């Protein structure tokens, strides 16, 4: 019987930890990455359903935009009970604004070429350009990433699945990861990633955090530095409340859409609370 490897599994999405993990592990032999099966044809792969087994040396696996079904496909390839799962989350309102700002630049081919009925027959980039102001662009972002791609729902459903399987989960909030300058936060995270044949230091994790950079990298939008509801107008705020209030509550606690949401957010890592 084949011995399955233990792994560090990084469950993250577009504009929510993707570039951070890539900057740490890019080029390493113990690293690989996959895209969720449900987005085949939307973004470039490789997709998890195309993989029969992991390379023997792989320990760190980036899972981009995964849904629960894609997670179950990955679980066939690893020793889940000996693996560590890191679920990256971000306040949904901040996420949608960052995605809108990023794709307004037009830097990714799929966003310039894929045409979507839910965006009136436009590409994502075209719809963002045509939108009148920040509030309208936020509506485009919420319709695409929130409703069509269901990325916020994936954070919630993935957490529920992993909890139901009683697997080791670490919730990594972007708000902490990008702003915390306390070395002990990164040391705890690094310690949880260490396996028999793998070591990583807190310094390596700190080096890739914007909290320790003299200036933000080119791919960053800097939206995490603003109030979470910055730029939302009446229509976009109502749309957000109608469609994402329950996810915000489960991710960050509390029932209020506006107000001091940060008081209910963890200052550090958590593997107990429902995100």
Mean pLDDT value of segment 81-109:
95
Instruction: For residues 115 and 69, give the distance between their C-alpha atoms in angstroms, rounded to a whole number.
Output: 26
Higher pLDDT, 134 or 43: 134
Alpha helix ranges (H) inside the chain: 18-25, 68-75, 92-104, 109-113, 124-130, 133-141, 151-164, 174-177, 183-193, 202-207, 234-252
Instruction: For residues 148 and 224, give the distance between their C-alpha atoms in angstroms, rounded to a whole number.
Output: 23
**pLDDT range class, residue 259, cuts 50, 70, 90:** very low
How much is the pLDDT for 122?
A: 98
Helix H or strand E encompassing 9: strand 8-12
Domain 8-90+151-212 adopts which CATH fold?
A: Rossmann fold (3.40.50)
Domain residue spans in the chain?
Answer: 8-90+151-212, 101-150+228-261
**pLDDT range class, residue 254, cuts 50, 70, 90:** low
101 pLDDT exceeds 70?
A: yes
How much is the pLDDT for 55?
A: 86
Tokens of 47: 């997709």
CA Rg value for the chain: 18
- Give tens-digit pLDDT for 143-183: 999 999 999 999 999 999 999 999 999 999 999 999 999 99
**pLDDT range class, residue 11, cuts 50, 70, 90:** very high
**pLDDT range class, residue 10, cuts 50, 70, 90:** very high
How much is the pLDDT for 269?
A: 37
Higher pLDDT, 51 or 243: 243
How much is the pLDDT for 243?
A: 97
Mean pLDDT value of segment 197-203:
93
Which stretch of 117-131, 214-228, 230-244, 245-259 has the lowest confidence by average pLDDT? 245-259
How much is the pLDDT for 222?
A: 84
Which stretch of 53-62, 78-87, 123-132, 155-164 has the lowest confidence by average pLDDT? 53-62
Question: Which backbone phi and psi does 82 adopt, to 5 degrees?
Answer: -105, 5
């Amino acid at each position: 019987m084949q011995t399955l490897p233990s792994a560090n599994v990084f469950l993250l999405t577009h504009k929510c930890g993707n570039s951070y993990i890539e900057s740490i592990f890019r080029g390493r032999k113990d690293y690989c990455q996959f895209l969720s099966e449900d987005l085949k044809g939307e973004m470039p792969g490789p997709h998890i359903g195309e993989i029969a087994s992991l390379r023997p040396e792989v320990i760190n696996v980036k899972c981009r935009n995964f849904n629960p079904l894609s997670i179950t496909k990955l679980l066939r390839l690893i020793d889940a009970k000996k693996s560590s799962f890191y679920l990256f989350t971000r306040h949904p309102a901040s996420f949608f604004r960052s995605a809108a700002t990023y794709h307004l630049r037009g830097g990714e081919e799929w966003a310039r070429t894929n045409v979507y009925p839910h965006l009136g027959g436009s590409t994502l980039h075209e719809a963002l350009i045509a939108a009148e102001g920040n509030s309208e662009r936020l509506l485009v972002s919420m319709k695409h990433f929130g409703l069509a791609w269901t990325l916020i729902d994936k954070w919630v459903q993935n957490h529920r699945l992993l909890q139901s399987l009683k697997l080791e989960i670490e919730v990594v909030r972007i708000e902490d990861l990008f702003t915390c300058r306390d070395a002990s936060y990164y040391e705890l995270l690094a310690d949880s990633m260490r396996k028999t044949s793998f070591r990583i230091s807190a310094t390596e994790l700190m080096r890739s955090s914007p909290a320790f950079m003299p200036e933000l990298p080119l791919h960053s939008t800097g939206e995490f530095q603003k109030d979470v509801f910055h730029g939302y107008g009446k229509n976009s705020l109502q749309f957000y409340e109608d469609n994402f209030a329950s996810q915000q509550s489960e991710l960050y606690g509390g029932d209020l859409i506006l107000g001091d949401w940060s008081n209910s957010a963890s200052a550090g890592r958590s593997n107990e609370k429902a995100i």
